[in-house]
Structure 1
Amino acid sequence: MTKAFDEMTYRQDFEAVNGRQPLDEELEHAKGLVERYTVGKDGDNGVVTYHPSKRSRFKDFMTSAFGWIMRGGTLLVMTPVFLTLLFFNLIKSTIGVFVIWFISKVMLGFIFMGIVFLCDQAAFNEPEKTSGLLRDVGTFLFGERFFTYAVPNFFPHPTVDAWIIGIAIVVCAFGMTFSRYEA
């Protein structure tokens, strides 16, 4: 078996990967890759076949046989990094979720007060005369004091709100820690 650069195989591989023919500079650069593109000729029919070099076969064997050691070592080294990153992302997501919670409650309050004002103007003068549906929705979202004192309660249902906020914090923290796209 002779070691020679198989230009045709390289051109076919390059075109399959890049969708175009290689430039002359790329072809010259690739001629140094003899170990990957070694060819041998079958004596009878002259067919050129690909034969991997001993070095590439050894490298493939070592990767398949001992790859789990490298993967475990990488995981062992990266675990403290990811735990630290998760801790800081928990802090950031806690602040973010609470800010978004309060801003959304304020905006929802303005929208709801506008709907109450447009639909039932008597609600501002005499809150007990507010229609049933508007009063029920307002009480559910902002508590009972919303209609009597015009003061919204940001946590009218503490248990449910705490669960929603807690789940949102954890989901946001994991999403920021293990996202595939870094900002």
Structure 2
Amino acid sequence: MMDNDRHAEKKAKIKAARDRMMEGKTGEKGLVIVHTGPGKGKSSSAFGMVLRCVAHGMPCAVVQFIKGAWDTGERRLLTGHFGDLVQFHAMGEGFTWETQDRARDIAAAQAGWAKARALIADPAIRMVVLDEINIALRYDYLDVAEVLAVLAAKPPMTHVVLTGRNAKPEVIEAADLVTEMTAVKHPFRDGIKAQAGVEF
């Protein structure tokens, strides 16, 4: 076991190195953030960032591309308690295996994208979450080149979060921050359905 003096000396060295590293980190910018991968937590993480923005008094918006008008806990919380700071637009019609109508899914994605473009262009809105847009891009409901062009032209301090499995390589390349959620274990495999407060 390390004694207190050795521990303090080791931590002092780490702090000095960290302080040197942080001296050069002075820039600020609106980030393009991607949450992807087969694991759970992509949207949940994005909603956590929305709550951080709310705590800083920063206006935000959420556009949901796939999930539709589900009665979710995050929607209830954000619109019921923070409606002055958070816009919530559920534009999808449900999962693609539920609708089974490609033309309808494309139309819903295009309507969602029209709303998203307007929100991203508004410099008063500091964060826009494009929930499950990676799914819409994966199925070519939206043109990835157009999405990337809008992201490249966004106001300089606007953060945009794109969630959903299978993010396209071009989206990952354009992003400032990418996190891939890995599936290690999930109760669904053992016959447990989606749980309130966990999945919705």
TM-score of the alignment, normalized to the shorter chain, above 0.5: no
Q: TM-score, normalised by structure 1?
A: 0.20
Higher relative contact order (CA 8 A, sep 6+): 2
Relative to its length, the structure with more helix (as a share) is 1
Q: TM-score, normalised by structure 2?
A: 0.19
Relative to its length, the structure with more strand (as a share) is 2
Larger Rg: 1
